[in-house]
Amino acid sequence: MNGQSRQNITPGLDVNIVLKKDQRSGKLTRGKVKDILTNSAHHPHGIKVRLEDGQVGRVKEIVQNQEEQK
């Protein structure tokens, strides 16, 4: 699932984000959402979030099958 719609993203969700410094390479960083920073309902480049470790980036993918990761 992509991260362009704010309604799909909630705190505690596992996501893959692209950090500002990684936008050219497209390198993804995985983490849990702490805060949602984008106020609009939709953003073409992904909803901006803060992860629990403090990193900020735009959601590219919402990780599915969270039970399998534990």
> What's the CATH number where 45 sits?
2.30.30
If one counts every other C-beta atom within 10 angstroms of the C-beta of residue 47, the result is: 26
Number of domains in the chain: 1
Domain of 25? 6-64
Sign of the CA dihedral 39, 41, 44, 47?
Answer: positive
* Residue 21 pLDDT: 95
Rounded CA-CA distance 5/7 in Å is 5
**pLDDT tens for each residue of the chain, 70 residues long:** 788 999 999 999 999 999 999 999 999 999 999 999 999 999 999 999 999 999 999 999 999 865 544 4
* Residue 67 pLDDT: 54
Any domain includes 69: no
User: Which residues lie across from 5 on neighbouring strands?
Assistant: 42
Sign of the CA dihedral 5, 35, 19, 13?
Answer: negative
